[in-house]
Amino acid sequence: MQSADASQELDRTALVYEILVFLSLIVPSMALSFFAIRQGNLSFVLTASATILRDLGLVGLIAFFLWRNREPLGRIGWTLRNQRQEVLLGLGLFVGLFLVSGLVEPLFRAMGLSAPSTPSPRFLTVSGGWEFVLASVLVVVVAVAEETIFRGYLILRFTEIGGNRAVAVLLSSVVFAVGHGYEGTAGVATVGVMGLMLALVYVWRQSLVAPIVMHCVQDFVGIVVLPLLRHR
């Protein structure tokens, strides 16, 4: 009995070390987003390329953790079950996500939270030609990677360590929001609400497909579609 308890405790301790290592890699870089707006010399190409490489690296690390622990991809929501239905659901739920984000941000600003000093920072501004192609690749990679990280992986590990899925959902949404400091505190709070909505959809569906579609379309509208319309 003592041996079984020790083995279970060792497994939990290993998961704590694993999540601490993972968070130590992502949280500091995400916290720097609060200062990114001051770096006026950052280009979109540099920012997009670095983000793509970072996110692919983090997903690769998660894949290694799962392989080491002999866990199936389904544990973090990577399943193709009812994928057509999940895609359609994600497209439909995007409308709600878009409307809620548009409503809550002005509300947060009215409550005294700050707006970004620059509405459209240079490192997120797409201008012509192949930058739109890079922006499209960025949108897809970020949607897949961030849903894998913040919904699939972090909710799983926070739940396993703390034993409370509601707290895990809240914590993963907070960590997700921290990476959007360049949007001002009102933007960070808005992203936190969006992260919470995506997490609830993931917990409901037990699949990342719908949240990925919602996230992808949301970013595609903001990063690709609106700049294209401005260029016409």
pLDDT at 194: 97
Residue 212: closest CA among 108, 83, 106: 83
pLDDT of residue 74 exceeding 60: yes
Which are the contacts of 158, defined by CB distance < 8 A and separation ≥ 6? Answer: 19, 167, 168, 171, 172
What is the share, in percent, of the chain residues with pLDDT greater than 90?
Answer: 66
pLDDT of residue 121 exceeding 70: no
Q: How confident is the model at residue 1 (pLDDT cuts 50, 70, 90)?
A: very low
pLDDT digits (tens, 9 = 90+) for 132-180: 899 999 999 999 999 999 999 999 999 999 989 999 999 999 999 998 8
Please give the model's pTM, rounded to 2 decimal places: 0.91
Q: Is 38 helix (H, G, I), strand (E, B) or coil?
A: coil
Q: How confident is the model at residue 33 (pLDDT cuts 50, 70, 90)?
A: confident
pLDDT at 205: 96
Domain spans in the chain, listed from the N-terminal domain onward? 2-72+81-230
Its sign, for the CA torsion 38, 148, 53, 217, is negative
CB 221 within 8 Å of CB 99: no
pLDDT at 120: 63
Q: What is the DSSP string of 65-94?
A: HHHHHT--GGGGT---TTHHHHHHHHHHHH
